[in-house]
Amino acid sequence: MTAKTQTLAFNARPKLTAGASIVGKREGNGPLGRYFDKVIDDPKMGKDTFEKCESAMLSEAVAVAASKAGMDIFDIGVLLAGDLLNQLVSSAYAARSMPVPYFGLYAACSTMTEALALGAALVNAGHFESAACATCSHFAAAERQYRYPLEYGCQRPPYAQWTVTAAGCSILRSEGDGPALTHATIGRVVDYGITDINNMGAAMAPAAFDTLLAVFDDTGTCADDYDAIFTGDLGRLGGEIMRDLCRERGVELGQRYSDCGEMIFSREQNCYSGGSGAGCSACVLNSYILGKMYKREYNRVLILATGALMSPTTSFQGESIPAVSHAVILENDL
């Protein structure tokens, strides 16, 4: 480690022993539907409000992941969670029913990898034997907080993305089966001056690119060293921008690169440029990606979740959109 690295190396190789994903109906009907643990048909899960549903999804994702890891919720060493709702209320109200130490984190749609990075650091150092890392988002709750209530029936531009209704949770443990979380690369905040809040992909792609270069520099790896590379939720347009930025720097991502936002919905689902939201990379990682690692179809994977850090207030005040991308490397023991 040099003084200026962005990368944490976890020599004790904490293991991602279990992952869980709970998604909404639209996500369940998408191309990855069969990989998710649970699809909820009712967009409120029987609760009064979308926000309470989002929090309940997060609670359930943690409970399912703990159960898959052979643990009771009470056995979890520490919970690291965050979400898109103001004051991270989905996470706080979910944490209220879990008597475990709780860290609230916010990296917008890059919260899953921020949680994994810090969870791995805590488990790697022996501070906790296990860490639950979780995040979520809900289409209807996000729309009314960030844009307009659904009842307004607003039109969207074709490059807009669709906030995923999903929660994901990973259980990291000091011992156990599953891929090791070997490195985490912590993003810097990058702002290319995008002001269109419908164009998140363009705002976030430079952050993913900045972190990708840091991963390569800090770990001495290149694209060919990974079986697969995923960004979080750049969507179709943002994914193209990411490929272009890489190509300009001589990095050819090729077929090994996919974006979780592109993967989660088919074009026929009319979700414009694809999925977004903190739950997007969280549910794809904790279902499809982790499944392929458990089956050893992938042995080394790089995941760069991507977050746009503006708020409606900063947009009203004329600010551009800063973005961040935190990366984690997962590696099967050979």
Q: Which of 33, 104, 176, 291 binds a copy of itself (CB under 8 A)?
A: 104
261 in Cβ contact with 279 (< 8 Å): no
CA–CA separation, 54 and 56 (whole Å): 5
Cα angle value 329/130/332 (rounded, 5°): 30
What is the footprint of a copy of itself within residues 48-77 (CB under 8 A)?
A: 48-49, 51-52, 75, 77
Tell me if 39 contacts a copy of itself by CB under 8 A.
no
Q: Is 186 in the site for a copy of itself (CB under 8 A)?
A: yes
Q: How many C-beta atoms surround the C-beta of residue 151 within 10 A? A: 7
Residue 195 in the binding site for a copy of itself (CB under 8 A):
no
Nearest to 120 by CA among 222, 14, 247: 14
Place of tokens 């709702």: 85
Among 20, 98, 136, 181, binds a copy of itself (CB under 8 A): 98
CB 104 to a copy of itself: min, Å? 4
Using the minimum distance from each CB to a copy of itself, give the nearer residue, 97 or 297: 97
For residues 218-237, which are near a copy of itself according to CB under 8 A?
none
88 binds a copy of itself (CB under 8 A): yes
- Tell me which amino acid residue 286 is: N
Residue 200 makes contact with a copy of itself by CB under 8 A:
no
Minimum CB–partner distance for residue 239 and a copy of itself (Å):
23
Please enumerate in sequence order all residues whose Cβ is within 8 A of that of 39, keeping only pairs 6 or more positions apart, or say none.
Answer: 22, 23, 24, 25, 27, 28, 33
Shortest separation between residue 214's beta carbon and a copy of itself, angstroms: 8
Confirm or reject binding of residue 171 to a copy of itself (CB under 8 A). no
Q: Which residues contact 259 (CB under 8 A, 6 or more apart)?
A: 230, 231, 232, 233, 234, 235, 236, 238, 239, 242, 274
* C-alpha pair distances (Å), 22 with each of 26, 67, 75, 163, 209: 12, 14, 21, 14, 29
Part in contact with a copy of itself (CB under 8 A); list of ranges 113-121, 156-164, 234-242, 284-292: 113-121
Among positions 266, 269, 311, 332, the unique one binding a copy of itself when judged by CB under 8 A: 311
Question: Which of 85, 205, 208, 260 is in the footprint of a copy of itself by CB under 8 A?
Answer: 85
CA torsion through residues 239, 214, 84, 313, sign = negative
Two tokens, residue 130: 């296990």
Q: Does 302 bind a copy of itself (CB under 8 A)?
A: no
> Least distance (Å) from a copy of itself to the CB of residue 84?
8
The binding site for a copy of itself (CB under 8 A) comprises: 1, 3-4, 6, 8-9, 48-49, 51-52, 75, 77-78, 82, 84-89, 92-93, 95-96, 98-108, 114, 118, 121-122, 124-127, 129, 145, 186-191, 309-314, 317, 319, 322, 324
